[in-house]
Amino acid sequence: MKKKQFKAESKKLLDMMIHSIYTNKEIFLRELISNASDALDKLSYQGLTDKSIKVNKNNLEIRLIPNKEEKTLTITDNGIGMTKEELEENLGTIAKSGSELFKENMDDKKNMSIIGQFGVGFYSAFMVSDKVKVSSKSIHSDKGYTWISSGADGYTLEECDKKENGTTITLYIKENLEEESYDEFLEEAHLSSLIKKYSDYIHYPIRMTVKSMQEEKEIEEDKTLNSMIPIWHKKKKDVKEEEYNDFYTDKFYDYEKPLHIIQSDVEGRSSYKALLFIPSHAPFDYYSKNYEKGLQLYSRGVLIMEKCSELLPDYFSFVKGIIDSEDISLNISRETLQDNCQIGMIAKSLETKIRKELESILKNNREDYEKFYNDFGMQLKYGIYSSYGMNKEQLQDLLLFYSSKDKKYVTLKEYTEKMIEGQNKIYYACGESLDKIDLLPQVERIKEKYEILYLTNYMDEFVLKTIMNYNSYEFLNIADEKADLDSEEEKDALKKANEESKDMFSEMKEVLDAQVESINFTHKLKNHPVCLTSKGEISVEMEKALKEMPNGENIKAQTIMEINEQHPISKKLKELYQNKKIEELKKYSKVLYAQARLIEGLSIENPTEISNLICELLTK
C-alpha cells in the first residue's frame, strides 16, 4: 500500500521524537491517556447535547493492555473516535495551535523543553515505539480506519472492521538499548505507577488486567489504576505541592511549575470549587491576539467547557485553572453563558479572590511578586487604561514602579507613605531606561528633594493619567512646566529674568521653525544647560508612544525649551544678544535645541547641520 507523506513540520517533529532529545520518555503515557480522556469527555458532551447519541456513562473507560510476547502496549478508549478525515488531519499534522511557532523554533534544540506548548502529544508515542498503529471508529461514522506509521517516512490509512466507537492505539515498543530500557513499559507494576504519578485524577477508570499468584495459581483480575478523584475535589492538605505542579504542567502545557496555586471551596449563594494557577511566566502567545483567556468549567466533575472566558476579567487573563460547580447546568451553551447569573456570581467572587491572593503575594513574597509583575504587570496596567480607570480601585495597589530613592520597585502606597512634609504630588519621570531617566536634566534637582518614580514602559504614563490621582495626590511629570521647586521669591525673580530676555528668546525661537512653543529660563536644572518641558496633557514620552502605536495618531507634545539661568550658557546668550550678534545667537539656539532633544531620547532632523555648527563654534 502506498505511503502517504507527513506535512514537513510534522516530519521534523517526528524525527525529533524518534531520536528523542526529550529525555523524559515516560510522559508518552500521560499524553495518550489524556487524549483518550478528552475523547471520552467529547463523547459524554455529545450525549448531553445530541439526543440521538446514547451514552452509557458507566461503560466509559480507558484500558491498558501490555503484551510481553508481542512487545506491544495497547491503549484503548471507547470515546468519540476519529473519522478517516480526522485521522488524517489529526495525526498527519502537528496540532494546529502551536505549529506556526513550532516552525519558527524548530531548529533550536534548547526550545524542545517547551515541547508541551506545541501540543505534540500524540507524536510522543514515537519516543518509545518503532511503529504505532491507531484503529479508530468515530461515533459519526459507520466505518473504522487504521492508521499505521513507522516514523518519518510516512503512514498508511485503510479501512478496518472496528465495530465499537473509540480508539485503540498499539505501540510496538522499541528494543532495549544499552543506556535505555524500554521493556519497563510492558511491566504491569511500572505502568501502574506511571498512571498513579501522572493520571490519577483522570475521571474515567483506567483499567488493566493484572495477573497475580494466589495459592500457587495464577489468577487474572481487572484493576482500576487511578483513584479518579479530580485533584480539585481533594482537600488541600491531602495533596502534595508536587502533585498540583504536575497536574498544572500537564493540563496547561507549561514546562515550568506555577508561581502560585489558589485552591478554594466556596459554599453559599453560588457554590463552587476552584483550583487556579498563576503561571510563573507568560506563555509565548500571551501578548498576542491568539491568546484565549478562560477557565475550564466542570459541573460535578464533568467537563462542560474547555475555556470559559466569562469567568475571568481581561486583566487577570493569565490565570489558568478549573472551576467545578454543581450550580451550573450540564447543557449550558456559549450563547446563554453571558446571561447566566451563576457564572456572573462565580466570576465576581473569583475576581476578588485572585486580587486578594496577588495582594498577599505582594505583601509576603516580594520576590515572587516582582517576577510575576515583570511578566504580567503590563496586563494589569492595560486593565486600568482600557477601562478608562473604571477598574483602578481594584488594580492600582497591584502596580509597581521603580523608585529613584530605593533603586527598586515600590507601590503607590509605599510611595505616598514616604512622602516628605510639604510634598503634595507624586513625581514621575519617563524614559527608555532607568539609566537614561536618571541622567535627565530635570531629574537631577528634583530627586535630591523628592522621590521620583521612573517609568520605562510606554504605557506607564497613560496609566497614571488614567488613575489621575492616588489618595488625592496628583501625579506630576518632572518634565511638566508645573514641576518646579522654587519659592515665591525665586519664582518672581525668574519671571523677571524671563521678562527681560523676552526679545532675545523670540529671536532664538524664530530659527526653530515653531518646533517649540516658547523658550525661557528655568531654575529646575542643576548642572545641565537645557531641557525640554511639556505643556498640557501630552508629554514627550506620550508623543513617542502614540507614534509607535498601530495606526498611531500624530499627536505632538507642546514643548518649551528651558535654559538653566544659573548656567554660564545663559550669560553667553545674553552677551551675544546685547552685542547684536544675532546670527550667532541663532546658531546657539539650534545647537541647544538639538542637545535638549537628544537628552530626551528624540532624534534630530538635521544632524549634519548641527555637527557642522558645533565644530564651527568649537573652532572659534
Q: Which is nearer to ligand ADP, 81 or 313 (CB)?
A: 81
Q: How far is the CB of 352 from ligand ADP (least distance, A)?
A: 33
Q: How far is the CB of 256 from ligand ADP (least distance, A)?
A: 18
Q: How far is the CB of 260 from ligand ADP (least distance, A)?
A: 25
Residues 242, 554: Cα–Cα separation, whole Å: 52
Q: Which is nearer to ligand ADP, 82 or 328 (CB)?
A: 82
Q: Which is nearer to ligand ADP, 97 or 416 (CB)?
A: 97
Q: How far is the CB of 555 from ligand ADP (least distance, A)?
A: 45
Q: How far is the CB of 72 from ligand ADP (least distance, A)?
A: 17
Q: How far is the CB of 140 from ligand ADP (least distance, A)?
A: 12
Q: How far is the CB of 28 from ligand ADP (least distance, A)?
A: 10
Query: Which ranges of 3-108 would DSSP assign to H, the alpha helix?
Result: 8-18, 27-49, 84-92, 96-105
Residues 87, 489: Cα–Cα separation, whole Å: 84
Q: Which residues pair with 62 in a beta bridge?
A: 77, 206
Q: Which is nearer to ligand ADP, 95 or 210 (CB)?
A: 95
Residues 542, 558: Cα–Cα separation, whole Å: 11
> 480, 522, 478: which is closest to 498 by C-alpha?
522
Q: How far is the CB of 115 from ligand ADP (least distance, A)?
A: 11
> 575, 389, 364: which is closest to 468 by C-alpha?
389
Q: Which is nearer to ligand ADP, 163 or 235 (CB)?
A: 163
Distance of CA 321 to the CA centre of its chain: 15
Query: Which ranges of 160-208 would DSSP assign to H, the alpha helix?
Result: 188-199
Beta-sheet pairing, 72-77 with 62-67: antiparallel
Q: Which residues pair with 206 in a beta bridge?
A: 62
Sign of CA dihedral 473, 474, 477, 482: negative
Q: Which residue is nearest to ligand ADP (CB)?
A: 121
Which grid cell is 204? 474515567
> 462, 358, 447: which is closest to 411 by C-alpha?
358
- Site residues, ligand ADP (CB under 6 A): 31, 35-36, 39, 77, 79-82, 90, 95, 119, 121-122, 167
> 66, 47, 45, 63: which is closest to 55 by C-alpha?
47
Q: Which is nearer to ligand ADP, 82 or 400 (CB)?
A: 82
Alpha carbons within 13 angstroms on the beta-carbon side of residue 573 total: 30
Q: What is the dihedral of CA 557, 560, 564, 565, to 10 degrees?
A: -160
> 134, 242, 163, 247: which is closest to 200 by C-alpha?
247
**Three-state helix/strand/coil letters over 63-74:** EEEEECCCCEEE
Q: How far is the CB of 16 from ligand ADP (least distance, A)?
A: 14
In terms of phi and psi (left: phi > 0; alpha: psi -120 to 50; beta: otherwise), the region of 40 is alpha
Q: Which is nearer to ligand ADP, 172 or 252 (CB)?
A: 252
Q: Which is nearer to ligand ADP, 35 or 522 (CB)?
A: 35
Q: Which is nearer to ligand ADP, 115 or 532 (CB)?
A: 115
Residues 480, 477: Cα–Cα separation, whole Å: 5
Q: Which is nearer to ligand ADP, 118 or 588 (CB)?
A: 118
- 374-384 burial string, b = 16+ CB within 10 Å, else e? ebbbbbbbbbb
Q: How far is the CB of 302 from ligand ADP (least distance, A)?
A: 18
Q: Which is nearer to ligand ADP, 76 or 391 (CB)?
A: 76
Q: Which is nearer to ligand ADP, 39 or 297 (CB)?
A: 39
Q: How far is the CB of 240 from ligand ADP (least distance, A)?
A: 26
Q: How far is the CB of 226 from ligand ADP (least distance, A)?
A: 16
> 590, 604, 455, 427: which is closest to 524 by C-alpha?
427
Q: How far is the CB of 32 from ligand ADP (least distance, A)?
A: 7
Q: Which is nearer to ligand ADP, 74 or 518 (CB)?
A: 74
Residues with Cβ within 8 Å of residue 447, at least 6 apart in sequence: 404, 405
